[in-house]
DNA sequence: ATGCTGACTATGT
DNA sequence: TACATAGCCAGCA
């Protein structure tokens, strides 16, 4: 039952992430039927051809931070900028509050 | 076919 | 809270 390659399934899940939301590699893996293989998601996204219609920037690690190793040069910065353009904010530690912007995360009684 | 590489995560200290 | 370690798999040379 794999009409699509593993990478294709991962991309299909990522395309479902709504604008203004983020999710983790682990979550994408689970939704793609690859539970426990978060790393594959990361590898799949790194292999993503530029210009592809996949919101890869909405996928961050479980700590809520951008996980690109190239964060110092380009892609990492691009990812953060794209997220901020979707009204996603970063805290002083450079992390996204998953409890607030995480996809499919129930909004809790915002103890603001 | 074998070995290397790489956008992660859970767990223990 | 931060750092180190082990487990996981697909793609490519």
A67 CA, B2 C1': Å apart: 30
Tell me the CATH number for domain A3-99. Answer: 1.10.10.10
Within 7 Å: CB of A81 and strand C? no
Within 7 Å: CB of A67 and strand B? yes
Query: A16-70, pLDDT tens digit by residue?
Result: 999 999 999 999 999 999 988 999 999 999 988 878 889 999 999 999 999 886 5
Residue A24's H or E segment, with its range, is strand A23-24
* Residue A22: strand, helix, or coil: strand
Domain coordinates in residue numbering, chain A? 3-99
Beta strands in A25-83 (DSSP E): 59-60
Name the residue among A38, A14, A17, A12 with its Cα closest to residue A26: A38
Query: A83-99, pLDDT tens digit by residue?
Result: 999 999 999 999 999 99
A88 CA, C12 C1': Å apart: 36
């Amino acid at each position: 039952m794999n009409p699509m390659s593993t990478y294709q399934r991962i991309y299909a899940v990522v395309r479902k992430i709504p604008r203004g939301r983020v999710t983790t590699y682990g979550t994408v893996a689970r939704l793609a039927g690859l539970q426990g293989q978060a790393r594959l998601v990361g590898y799949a996204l790194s292999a993503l051809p530029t210009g592809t219609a996949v919101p890869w920037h909405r996928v961050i690690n479980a700590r809520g931070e951008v996980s690109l190793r190239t964060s110092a040069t380009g892609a990492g910065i691009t990812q953060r900028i794209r997220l901020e353009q979707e009204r996603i904010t970063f805290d002083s530690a450079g992390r996204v509050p998953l409890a607030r912007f995480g996809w499919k995360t129930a909004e809790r009684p915002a103890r603001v």
